[in-house]
Amino acid sequence: MKAIIIFLFSLLFMYLDFLFAEFSPVTISGLEVYFVSRLLLMFVLLISIYVSPSMSAFIGIVFGLMLDVYIGSVYGIHSFGMVAFVAFMHTAFRVFYKDFVAMAFVILLLTFLYETYIYFIYRLLDLVYMPIFDYLALRAAPSLLLNALLFFFVFVTALKTSKVRNNLQSKY
């Protein structure tokens, strides 16, 4: 039951990420500012804490592949990235003190690093030409801000999802 709920919410967050892409970039003072939401990634990272890292890695591979094949020019970026970032999350959480603020900090930091990882891969493959400072100012910072605003919404969803199985067990 929990696996199905997690899968459905992952689908929903993936679709919401697509939806945010419709409204971006926003032109501010003649500059194109990109707001890239990472709802699916944040959900997958939260699942690694509240459910299990293996479930999170599985969801990461499945949805990473779906993203790569459905809407990607370069295969492997999302499927590898999601699993690697779940591993980083698992490792980082052993180091940080486990409270809400630390968790929010680590997850937002990882969304920023994920965006940067994709930027570097595309730069390496000569697919994008954006200078690093433009990337930081017009893309990374606004995206971080958007994801910080959306984090609470994803956090509540992940928390509720993690309790699905317990509720069912208490009934029977």
Q: Which of 3, 19, 137, 141 binds another protein (CB under 8 A)?
A: 19
Given candidates 1, 4, 22, 169, which one binds another protein under the rule CB under 8 A? Answer: 22
State the CB neighbour count (10 A cutoff) for residue 141. 13
Residue of the chain from 28, 52, 54, 70 that contacts another protein (CB under 8 A): 70
Torsion angles phi and psi, residue 26, rounded to 5: -105, 130
Task: Count CB neighbours of 59 within 10 A.
Answer: 24
Residue 89 interacting with another protein (CB under 8 A): no
Q: Which residues of 63-86 are buried (b: 16+ CB within 10 A; e: fewer)?
A: bbbbbbeeeeeeeebbbbbbbebb
Q: 28 - beta bridge partners?
A: 31
Token readout for 145 is: 């801000």
Using the rule CB under 8 A, which residue among 1, 30, 91, 99 binds another protein? 91
The count of residues interacting with another protein (CB under 8 A) is 46
Applying CB under 8 A, which part among 42-50, 81-89, 144-152, 158-166 lies near another protein? 81-89
Based on the shown chain and the rule CB under 8 A, indicate whether residue 29 belongs to the binding site for another protein: no
Residue 87 contacts residue 77 (beta carbons within 8 Å): no
Phi first, then psi, for residue 123 (nearest 5°) are -65, -40
**21 binds another protein, rule: CB under 8 A:** yes
Strand partners, 27: 32
- If one asks whether residue 74 binds another protein (CB under 8 A), the answer comes out as yes
Nearest approach in angstroms of CB 170 to another protein is 30
Residue 84: CB minimum distance to another protein, A: 6
Q: Name the site residues for another protein (rule: CB under 8 A).
A: 11-12, 14-15, 17-22, 24-25, 34, 36-37, 65-77, 79-80, 83-84, 87, 91, 94-95, 118-119, 121-122, 125-130
